[in-house]
Amino acid sequence: MNEDIERLLNLRNPPQRLTAEEAAGRLGLSPHEIPILVAKGLLKPLGHPAPNGPKHFLTATLDDLRRDEKWHGKVSDALQEYWRSKNARKQDSTDKRQPSGCKPKTQIRKIDGDKIKGAGGEFSARALPFIRRY
């Protein structure tokens, strides 16, 4: 844990407004999980911050949430669903790529000396290494 966050958690009277990183330490979460919870609506920042701006959270609200068992269950489910969908998207994108053993779309029909005739037209034999195969 970051020394600053640890020092903040040990304060007798903590500040009333915490940053996302400090809020994560207060709730026992990782800092990268806070934007996920904000997007899911499980954690509400103060005011109306810009989507790419810094977010601040009220300490009293965080303390109430820290003691709420149902909220922690929802957080666990939301984080699990986020990573499940993210991993599924990654898996889908790798499935769409063609395996390396597939035939190229450009098929060579005839080689005449220095000229190669294929489906895409006529090419020089020197250009062969630069023809992309999909």
Quick one: what percent of the chain has pLDDT higher than 90?
47
Q: Which of 35-49, 57-71, 83-97, 111-125 has the lowest mean pLDDT?
A: 111-125
Euclidean distance between CA atoms 53 and 27, whole angstroms = 21
> pTM for this structure?
0.62
pLDDT at 39 over 80: yes
φ and ψ at residue 112, rounded to 5 degrees = -115, 95
Domain ranges of the chain: 3-96, 100-134
Higher-confidence residue: 57 or 108? Answer: 57
Q: Of 108, 106, 112, 110, give the one whose Cα is nearest residue 133.
A: 106
Percent of the chain scored above 70 by pLDDT? Answer: 69
Domain 3-96 has CATH 1.10.1660: yes
The overall average pLDDT reported for the chain is: 80
Q: What pLDDT was estimated at residue 134?
A: 46
Looking at residue 103, its pLDDT comes to: 55
